[in-house]
Amino acid sequence: MIPTPGKLNFVIADDDRMTRNVLRMLLHDNYHQVVGEAGDGEKAIELCIAHQPDIAFIDIDMPKLDGHHATQTIRESCKNTRIIMISSMATVSRVQQALQSGASGFVVKPFNSNKVSEAIEQCMKKTGLVLKTAASH
Protein backbone atom coordinates (compact mmCIF):
# COMPACT_ATOMS: atom_id res chain seq x y z
CA MET A 1 0.00 0.00 0.00
CA ILE A 2 1.17 3.51 -0.76
CA PRO A 3 1.37 5.68 2.36
CA THR A 4 -1.10 8.54 2.51
CA PRO A 5 0.77 11.87 2.78
CA GLY A 6 0.33 13.54 6.17
CA LYS A 7 -1.01 10.43 7.87
CA LEU A 8 0.36 7.40 9.66
CA ASN A 9 0.27 3.72 8.72
CA PHE A 10 -0.82 1.17 11.33
CA VAL A 11 -0.93 -2.55 12.00
CA ILE A 12 -3.56 -3.71 14.50
CA ALA A 13 -3.08 -6.95 16.44
CA ASP A 14 -5.79 -8.20 18.77
CA ASP A 15 -7.44 -11.61 19.02
CA ASP A 16 -10.86 -9.97 19.34
CA ARG A 17 -12.30 -9.11 15.91
CA MET A 18 -14.64 -6.46 17.36
CA THR A 19 -11.72 -4.66 19.00
CA ARG A 20 -9.85 -4.65 15.68
CA ASN A 21 -12.95 -3.30 13.90
CA VAL A 22 -13.45 -0.48 16.41
CA LEU A 23 -9.79 0.50 16.31
CA ARG A 24 -9.73 0.40 12.50
CA MET A 25 -12.80 2.68 12.34
CA LEU A 26 -11.29 5.12 14.86
CA LEU A 27 -8.05 5.29 12.85
CA HIS A 28 -9.90 5.71 9.54
CA ASP A 29 -12.04 8.46 11.08
CA ASN A 30 -8.78 10.32 11.69
CA TYR A 31 -7.64 9.62 8.11
CA HIS A 32 -4.94 7.15 9.08
CA GLN A 33 -4.30 4.00 7.08
CA VAL A 34 -4.47 0.46 8.48
CA VAL A 35 -2.09 -1.67 6.40
CA GLY A 36 -2.70 -4.95 8.23
CA GLU A 37 -4.64 -6.72 10.96
CA ALA A 38 -3.68 -9.78 12.98
CA GLY A 39 -5.44 -12.03 15.46
CA ASP A 40 -2.26 -13.37 17.07
CA GLY A 41 1.29 -12.33 17.90
CA GLU A 42 2.99 -14.32 15.13
CA LYS A 43 0.85 -12.74 12.41
CA ALA A 44 1.47 -9.30 13.96
CA ILE A 45 5.21 -9.80 13.51
CA GLU A 46 4.75 -10.96 9.90
CA LEU A 47 2.62 -7.93 9.06
CA CYS A 48 5.00 -5.47 10.70
CA ILE A 49 7.98 -6.91 8.84
CA ALA A 50 6.06 -6.85 5.54
CA HIS A 51 4.53 -3.36 5.88
CA GLN A 52 6.92 -1.51 8.25
CA PRO A 53 4.07 0.57 9.77
CA ASP A 54 4.68 3.77 11.66
CA ILE A 55 2.80 2.40 14.68
CA ALA A 56 1.47 -1.04 15.64
CA PHE A 57 -1.29 -1.48 18.20
CA ILE A 58 -0.49 -4.78 19.93
CA ASP A 59 -2.78 -6.50 22.43
CA ILE A 60 -0.99 -8.04 25.40
CA ASP A 61 -3.07 -11.22 25.63
CA MET A 62 -3.06 -13.02 22.26
CA PRO A 63 -2.72 -16.62 21.10
CA LYS A 64 0.47 -18.16 19.67
CA LEU A 65 2.68 -15.34 20.94
CA ASP A 66 1.74 -12.76 23.56
CA GLY A 67 2.04 -9.04 22.99
CA HIS A 68 5.22 -8.67 25.03
CA HIS A 69 7.16 -11.21 22.97
CA ALA A 70 5.68 -9.90 19.72
CA THR A 71 6.68 -6.35 20.68
CA GLN A 72 10.26 -7.37 21.42
CA THR A 73 10.57 -9.09 18.04
CA ILE A 74 8.94 -6.21 16.16
CA ARG A 75 11.24 -3.66 17.81
CA GLU A 76 14.28 -5.76 16.77
CA SER A 77 13.08 -6.34 13.20
CA CYS A 78 11.33 -3.03 12.46
CA LYS A 79 13.49 -0.26 13.88
CA ASN A 80 11.11 2.54 12.79
CA THR A 81 7.88 0.93 14.00
CA ARG A 82 6.55 2.22 17.31
CA ILE A 83 4.36 0.02 19.49
CA ILE A 84 1.29 1.01 21.47
CA MET A 85 0.19 -1.86 23.70
CA ILE A 86 -3.50 -2.39 24.36
CA SER A 87 -5.15 -4.25 27.20
CA SER A 88 -8.37 -4.34 29.15
CA MET A 89 -6.35 -4.44 32.39
CA ALA A 90 -4.26 -1.35 33.10
CA THR A 91 -2.43 -2.26 36.26
CA VAL A 92 0.81 -0.44 36.98
CA SER A 93 2.76 -3.67 36.54
CA ARG A 94 1.19 -4.40 33.13
CA VAL A 95 1.97 -0.88 31.90
CA GLN A 96 5.55 -1.12 33.21
CA GLN A 97 6.03 -4.53 31.60
CA ALA A 98 4.69 -3.19 28.28
CA LEU A 99 7.16 -0.31 28.35
CA GLN A 100 10.01 -2.68 29.31
CA SER A 101 9.08 -4.87 26.31
CA GLY A 102 9.67 -1.90 24.02
CA ALA A 103 6.24 -0.28 23.78
CA SER A 104 6.14 3.49 23.38
CA GLY A 105 2.60 3.79 24.70
CA PHE A 106 -0.35 2.04 26.30
CA VAL A 107 -4.11 2.34 25.80
CA VAL A 108 -6.85 0.68 27.83
CA LYS A 109 -9.82 -1.15 26.32
CA PRO A 110 -12.57 -0.32 25.73
CA PHE A 111 -11.21 2.69 23.94
CA ASN A 112 -12.70 5.68 22.22
CA SER A 113 -11.40 8.23 19.75
CA ASN A 114 -9.95 10.46 22.48
CA LYS A 115 -8.01 7.62 24.15
CA VAL A 116 -6.61 6.40 20.82
CA SER A 117 -5.67 9.90 19.60
CA GLU A 118 -4.02 10.69 22.93
CA ALA A 119 -1.99 7.45 22.85
CA ILE A 120 -0.83 8.21 19.28
CA GLU A 121 0.13 11.79 20.18
CA GLN A 122 2.05 10.67 23.28
CA CYS A 123 3.82 7.98 21.26
CA MET A 124 4.80 10.52 18.59
CA LYS A 125 6.11 13.00 21.17
CA LYS A 126 8.02 10.33 23.09
CA THR A 127 9.69 8.87 20.00
CA GLY A 128 10.05 11.94 17.77
CA LEU A 129 7.75 10.45 15.12
CA VAL A 130 6.46 13.06 12.66
CA LEU A 131 3.69 12.91 10.10
CA LYS A 132 4.83 12.37 6.55
CA THR A 133 4.10 15.21 4.16
CA ALA A 134 3.82 15.11 0.40
CA ALA A 135 7.20 16.90 0.18
CA SER A 136 8.98 14.10 2.08
CA HIS A 137 8.06 11.38 -0.42
33-38 and 105-108 as β-strands: parallel, antiparallel, unpaired? unpaired
* Domain ranges for the chain: 9-131
Question: Alpha-carbon dihedral of residues 39, 27, 98, 63, nearest 10 degrees?
Answer: -10
- pLDDT tens by residue, 47-86: 999 999 999 999 999 999 999 999 999 999 999 999 999 9
* Cis before 110? omega within 30: yes
| pLDDT at 132 (0 to 100) | 59
Residue pLDDT tens, the chain, 137 long: 444 456 899 999 999 999 999 999 999 988 899 999 999 999 999 999 999 999 999 999 999 999 999 999 999 999 999 999 999 887 888 888 888 888 998 998 888 889 999 999 888 888 777 765 443 43
| pLDDT at 126 (0 to 100) | 82
Put simply, whether the predicted model's pTM sits higher than 0.85 gets the answer yes
- Give the three-state DSSP class for 43: helix
- DSSP annotation string for 70-104: HHHHHHHH-TT-EEEEEES---HHHHHHHHHHT-S
**CATH fold of the domain at 9-131:** Rossmann fold (3.40.50)
| pLDDT at 134 (0 to 100) | 41
